[in-house]
Structure 1
Amino acid sequence: MAVMIATEGLGIRFRRNRRGRRSFKDLFASKHRRSRPNEFWALKDVSFSVERGEAIGVVGRNGQGKSTLLKLVAQVMLPDEGSVRVHGGVAPLIEITGGFVDDLTVRDNVYLTAGLHGMTKREIDACYDEIIEFAEIQGFEETPYKHLSSGMRVRIAFAVISRLDEPILLVDEVLAVGDKAFREKCYRRIEQLLAEGRTMFFVSHNERDLKRFCTRGLYLDKGRLVHDGPIDEVLSLYNRHYADK
């Protein structure tokens, strides 16, 4: 099997008094100095590899580095140490409504967002009606995005991102605010993508969803990889540790 994602000694640190935001000067300086008291390692010495077609569930309490790991895999953040190698494009279902522009219409946002992710106008034209139908947002295509409800925003964002023809899918609790019927519809779409051989990282606190999609799990605690193994085994270990704490 082809390796799609590989990390080796991966680590990233943040400053508490900057809420994790770093300048280019900070990034350069971080390579040449040790940690200071006001810094903490969000991830430290994380190593694993993922083969094509694997569905990985990432578990751990809030603030343990799960979302940070996905952002490093998506290559929207740079590590301070170690490496992450990604072979193939990524469809990031991470904060999926963040790239939409409030004053643009739904139609314009669909073309803008899909285009920024590499789709051509011809490709967007071919699937535009399917995107609108999937999002159940017919009749609102000329409505400014800022006038949509939060549920409608999630629906249109998921409909666009899930159409990307990328081999790696990153999912980070983005459907938690969706209604039950649409959430199930999205999950069927994810199952379809997995059946096509996509590789997936899935961050969730919902054990039922993790067991539904994933065969393997990564358990993160205090930014370190505690265990890598079958999803049932990882969840059992996580629950025992959580009960102890």
Structure 2
Amino acid sequence: MTRPVRVGIQLWPGGAPDYQSWRAAVLHAEELGADVIFGYDHFHAPAMEGIVDGKPLLSEVQPDVVNFEGWTALASWAEITTRAEIGLLVTGIGYRNPDLLADMARTVDHISGGRVILGLGAGWYEKDYTTYGYDYGTFKTRFDLFDAGLERIEQRLGKLNPPAVRDIPILIGGSGPKRSLPAVAKHADIWHAFLPVDKFVLASKLVDELATANGRNGSDIERSSIWENARDADAYRDAGVTLFTNEIHPTADGYDFSILEKMIEWRDKA
């Protein structure tokens, strides 16, 4: 399956001066030409040092900053945007009832005219759980909930009246070979990973093998990864990535869109 190269931007609300600045950033991202605009599903903004082996490295101090809830915002984005796909990168199943989440996604899909992407993950940021009264559990229990939640979401989407405008693409984030990639192979329309390109190639091959074992064609699963610079992006594109993302964190002065502008310039030359 041949797909166009697309760029997505994740606009963090955490630390924004106010909601209006986040809203304006969404509109500007679409105006610039972003194909997909993502928020996140965190009740508190994670403070991170970076990503190591595909996993976030948290800062020692996790301060409380201005933040806004993601799915509520998506309903607004569905009204104010007209072209870009929208979603959260990614929704934490551990603190979202799967059947209700499916209904929320279906509703936002209708509001947007069929532009929602349902990003899903097992959840990883402990503060999201504990401060809102959810059980953080263990890696195993979180992924057990994730696997069961994926089944419930697919079943509920098939029962809703009316159905979604389109078959809502399910994006699954993660690269673990024991739990994440089997879930990708079984359920995902888009697989999002933070891996060095050599490791990405190996993981992508495993996704294809697991998809075949589940009666699916691995080429039906779009590959997504982070865009850091044009040279590295060329290598990921050659490895099969067609959706490239990055994130913009707000400052007191608002959002700096220079990274998105570079991504769009690269996309348009690809």
Give the TM-score range, shorter chain: 0.3 to 0.5
Normalised to the residue count of structure 2, the TM-score between the two structures is 0.37
Structure with larger Rg: 1
Structure with greater strand percent: 1
Normalised to the residue count of structure 1, the TM-score between the two structures is 0.40
